[in-house]
Amino acid sequence: MIIFGTRSSTLGTIAIKGTPCSHCGDNGSKRITVFGKYFHVFWIPTFPFGKSSVMECTHCLKTIAQRDYTTEQRIQYQNAKGSIKTPIWHWAGLLLIAALIAFSIIAGTFASASTTTKETDPRAQLLTADMNKLATHPTLQSDSISYAIKQMIDNKIVSEMKPEEFKYFSHIQDNKLILLIKIRKLKKVDKEYRPEFIEMIEEYFDSKPSLDTIETYIGLHGKYNMMVIKNPTALYNSRFVSDRHLYDFYGDKSLYGTTEKESIPSDTIKAIE
């Protein structure tokens, strides 16, 4: 059996002056006690649904119901009751339900992250391997494209973004180029301005005749995940962008054998992210 209903609790008091008591006629101060009404389930407050009040004359101690307030008393009460706030515990039931839902979602996420069985794309491992090659200081000998891009970005990006901490990696294969950059503070850049990084990089590519016929794949990685990706067909810009938009750089997945379903340990998932 579910026990439910309505209850109320005292929220505070309001003092008003200058209105005569309807019982004794005294113009002295009156004290209004404000009550908060709430719905409860098993006596646990679930949500508030209004306020009520009772006025007491400090001279004759007569109590006056809210429906019997004079017009002036009602106006003073309406003007002052905003200062009496509904306590957070009046929402305890809904907050508890929200917490249980959030806990269930988080628990389910961790459970699926610890051992997730799904069809894996072998190209994800290739991208992860390239992400592991990101370097803060690429050299002209080891990665000439990343080296040039870093020199350009260091000269154009404001110091607040800490360009000295950016990490780079580039690779060319089968007439395709992939450029990966990790920018820890990318989330702090407004979404509408993030593509400016891509435009800056593409301007450099356009200035190099040797790159005219090469398909380019650019991935900008934030602190935890990809946030901007530009491939030959589209630009993706969001709080989270799927790595899959870079997979075509590595060719068709059928080139890497049959994709099997397997259990992926949580540490591998974290590495991919």
pLDDT at 72 over 50: yes
Predicted pLDDT of residue 124: 93
Predicted pLDDT of residue 245: 96
Question: Over the stretch 75-84, which tens digit does the pLDDT of each residue have?
Answer: 888 888 888 8
Predicted pLDDT of residue 127: 95
pLDDT at 50 over 80: yes
* Alpha carbons 179 and 171: distance in angstroms, whole number: 7
Q: Would you say the pTM of this structure is higher than 0.85?
A: no
**Mean per-residue pLDDT, 44-52:** 84
* Alpha carbons 19 and 63: distance in angstroms, whole number: 14
Boundaries of every domain in the chain: 4-95, 120-272
* Alpha carbons 125 and 129: distance in angstroms, whole number: 6
Predicted pLDDT of residue 269: 32
Cβ neighbours of residue 243 closer than 8 Å, sequence gap 6 or more? 124, 127, 219, 226, 272
pLDDT at 263 over 70: no
End-to-end C-alpha distance for the chain, whole angstroms: 47
**Mean per-residue pLDDT, 68-72:** 86
Q: Which residues pair with 218 in a beta bridge?
A: 179, 230
**Mean per-residue pLDDT, 16-43:** 86
> pLDDT category, 111, cuts 50, 70, 90?
low
pLDDT at 9 over 70: yes
Angle between helices 195-206 and 144-156 (to 10 degrees): 130
- What tokens appear for 177 in the block? 């180029």
pLDDT at 239 over 90: yes
Annotate 155-211 with three-state secondary structure. HHCCHHHCHHHCEEEEEEECCEEEEEEECCCHHHCCHHHCHHHHHHHHHHHHCCHHH
Question: Over the stretch 175-214, which tens digit does the pLDDT of each residue have?
Answer: 999 999 999 999 989 999 999 999 999 999 999 888 888 9
Cβ neighbours of residue 203 closer than 8 Å, sequence gap 6 or more? none
